[in-house]
A and B are shown apart, each in its own frame.
Chain A
Amino acid sequence: GEDVEQSLFLSVREGDSSVINCTYTDSSSTYLYWYKQEPGAGLQLLTYIFSNMDMKQDQRLTVLLNKKDKHLSLRIADTQTGDSAIYFCAESPPTGDSSYKLIFGSGTRLLVRP
């Protein structure tokens, strides 16, 4: 079956870089995603990467994709206290239609210490 795995917790100091890691299982997933969830809120789409790319940068966010190892990472540069949240990795296995049924990891809680 499909299973996306993430470490449960990461603590960093404000101003440092954070790296959140994820492994996924379906090598045919077309897109891989990172979502952010703040307490009591819904999920916010942070960024995503197409499976034929190795890297995507968007301001303070850098996504690295290693298809051979099915490993995805999210690097947050200059981490701020407002980045404290739960971060979810998700993959999108092919479905045969135009829908995208995301498979989520269980989330990594990022704590940014002042």
Chain B
Amino acid sequence: DAGITQSPRHKVTETGTPVTLRCHQTENHRYMYWYRQDPGHGLRLIHYSYGVKDTDKGEVSDGYSVSRSKTEDFLLTLESATSSQTSVYFCAISEETSGNTYEQYFGPGTRLTVT
């Protein structure tokens, strides 16, 4: 258990509304990632962070923004949700305590439905 929690775990929202998903970790990991999981696509990287206030885009970043004002929290925001953003969102961290930044551990996921 890498001490990752995600909130909310489930959310239903309407098209055009803003939505923020939160990823919280308790072990001071430097690297945090947001992925989305859709049938037939596996997981795809949305954004990632390599430190406080340091973020960069992933493969499918359009329509999403992120913020990291504290080491422990990485927020994913959908400024104006669309039905194509209905998905399961996973947060991940890279384990660094043993120098192994290549080991990624995932949170339990947030199921988002945009109606």
- Residues on A close to B: CB < 8 A? 4, 30-31, 33, 35, 41-45, 48, 88, 90, 92, 97-107
B33 is an interface residue with CB less than 8 A from chain A? yes
Name A92's closest neighbour in chain B (CB-CB). B102
Measured between beta carbons, the chain B residues less than 8 angstroms from A99 are 31, 33, 48, 50, 56, 94, 101
Q: Indicate whether A42 sits within 8 Å of B106 (C-beta atoms), given known contacts A88-B42, A99-B94, A101-B33.
A: yes
With beta carbons under 8 angstroms apart, the residue of A33, A41, A88 that contacts B108 is: A41
Q: How far is the CA of A44 from the CA of B4 in the complex (A)?
A: 13
Interface residues of B (CB under 8 A from A): 31, 33, 35, 40-45, 48, 50, 56, 58-59, 90, 94, 101-109
Contacts of B108 in A (CB 8 A): 41-42
Contact between chains at B90 and A42 (CB < 8 Å): yes
Minimum Cβ distance to chain B for residue A32 (Å): 10
Q: Flag if B44 contacts A100 (CB, 8 Å).
A: no
Query: B94 and A100: CB pair below 8 A?
Result: yes
Contact of A106 among B42, B50, B101, B105 (CB under 8 A): B42
Select A102's contact among B40, B50, B56, B104, beta carbons within 8 Å.
B104
